[in-house]
Structure 1
Amino acid sequence: MNFFHAIIIAIVEGLTEFLPISSTGHMIIVSSLLGISDDEFTKLFEVVIQLGAILAVVVLYWRKFLIFDKNRVSFYLKLIVAVIPALIAGYLFSDKIDQLLESPMTVGVTLLLGGIVLLFVDDWFRNPVIDTDEKINMFTALRIGFFQCLALIPGMSRSAATIIGGMQQKLTRSEAAEFSFFLAVPTMAAATGYKLLKGRELLMAHPENLKILLIGNIVAFVVAMAAIKFFIGALKKYGFRMWGYYRIIVGGILIIALMMGKLK
């Protein structure tokens, strides 16, 4: 991987991390097209690069994270409770997840199936009653956390899984999206830290990779800032159907390309 590859993948990460279309799936597709998907550093980069994107959430919603009061303590506890299922599942099945990360076909299938689900989500969950995070209780947060476990499958989309989980728990679309953004912070921070710990020898052996990671995270941060604002507006106006069609088209093209041997 070089700096050009890093910037391209970072742009993809920033654009897709908070959209219900799977940032990991898109990075796997792009790295395959660039011919660097088998590189060990690429696999590390595709996880660590998410740190830049989640920092955009902290900056945009800084009042949620940086102003400490009684309500914020409850907010932090809800995020901790919600992140626990994915942390446990990610630890128990880390080797299997790493294998799936090398499978573009898995991405194609989950993009396609997830797209079909998104076509109907707006009709399934009507009459929401929770429109602020203060109304989310601990059990609701935990149930959303179990939905997040689905995102361990590449191509499923952490954003889609948690937003759908939120809507199933009677959150409004915009509140479900915002809680998904907030939940990304501890989830991705933990995933990044774990991946860096596992890949520390790779980074120590090639110090220039640290510069690539830095540039990549900066690019992902800037792009994600714009993508979050766009997604909230589009979600309120159009719902999920447009993203469902997008996933079906991309997933279908990917499956066909793989079956025809046009992509490895």
Structure 2
Amino acid sequence: MSLNTSVAPAAVTFRSTITATLDTETVAGSDAKICKAARVSTVGAAAAETGEARGLINYLMKNRHGSPFEHAQLSFLVEAPIFVAREFMRHRVGWSYNETSGRYRELEPVFYMPPASRPLVQVGKAGEYSFEHGTHEQYDAVEHSFGVIYRAAYSHYQQMLGRGVAREVARSVLPVGTFTSFYATCNPRSLMHFLSLRTTSAWATFPSFPQEEIERVADDMEKAFSLHFPLTWEAYLDNGRVCP
């Protein structure tokens, strides 16, 4: 039996917001815990909870003594297109992930649509380029093409499911602009490494040029980091956003 190639377009939702929300119930540790982990190697466990924090954290950051920053934890719920999730998976050391599974549940018809503020045109050669805003015609073309493909893909996905095709097979027709959600759990050290690569900052000793979509996620994560580990975050900035 062949699939009907003229299925009606599906009703889909377009979304341009990409978010990372801190699960506050799972935050473990603090600036004080980082100091305690550092002091245990010099004064022992009994005296590890005493002493000034700001100077010690700055010393650790400046001299790149990184292991004390691994003794805390943050967990984020990320809602993003699949292509952003795949960028996340490049970060492996100090990270754990659990993602929505297209094998076990039917995927929702929510798809990424670049906002009008998103630059479209790449200028320059590989490794030395920038992005500029497109013309109205280019934005219209993006919006039209994305919409046509998303609706057609989800219609065929639904058609296959309706004919009894397994979810793990049918999902292959969906594009990487399909929204997914996943938990990303890390420690402050692994988060600082992530931020050094996935944000643009005038504070950075080593500039990075991340894709806009993952930088939006990184910005959310950094805000949460700055609130829960303020001394560590300040030392990170003061030392050029270099991961210890």
TM norm. shorter chain > 0.5: no
TM-score scaled by structure 2?
A: 0.25
More strand by share: 2
Q: Taking CA–CA contacts closer than 8 Å with sequence separation of 6 or more, which of the two structures ends up with the larger relative contact order? A: 1
